[in-house]
Amino acid sequence: MESYNFWQDFFDTYQSLSDWMKFAWLVVPPAFLLGLLALAMRYRLAAKRATEPDTGNLAYTVFSDENGILRIYTHDGAEAVADERPEATVLPLPGVHPHTLPKPPASDV
């Protein structure tokens, strides 16, 4: 087993392949690497074009207490979001007073 050489076996196997398989061995790995590079670059460009989460306005904060009641607080600028995007659904929660929503019914399942 001392005379076994991996590379000699590898190239012997490659030499015995048909011409189409040799072509595939030469073309497929670079094509795969170029496709992977293109995919990574597209992801990086899309990530750079995405808006930062800190550039938006905080409109509402929702808290849940120990009883399961949700409290919704409005922040300054919530009305501006409704003015800038009329198609956006903005709940009419005036001021900074908390509003409560009822606890959802328990499931019998």
For residue range 22-50, what is the model confidence (pLDDT) as tens digits? 999 999 999 999 999 999 999 999 888 87
Provide the residue range defining the domain that includes 63.
Answer: 53-101
Assess whether 91 and 67 both reside in one domain: yes
For residue range 46-96, what is the model confidence (pLDDT) as tens digits? 888 876 666 666 677 777 777 777 776 666 655 555 555 554 444 544 444
Distance CA 102, CA 104 (A): 6
What is this structure's pTM? 0.41
Distance CA 44, CA 40 (A): 6
Count of domains forming the chain: 2
106 in a domain, yes or no? no
Assess whether 92 and 75 both reside in one domain: yes
Element at 43 (helix H, strand E):
helix 19-49
- With 60 as the cut, is the pLDDT of residue 11 above it? yes
Assess whether 44 and 14 both reside in one domain: yes
Assess whether 96 and 64 both reside in one domain: yes
Distance CA 85, CA 79 (A): 10
Cβ neighbours of residue 70 closer than 8 Å, sequence gap 6 or more: 62, 63, 64, 100, 101
Tell me the H-state helices in 50-104: 78-84
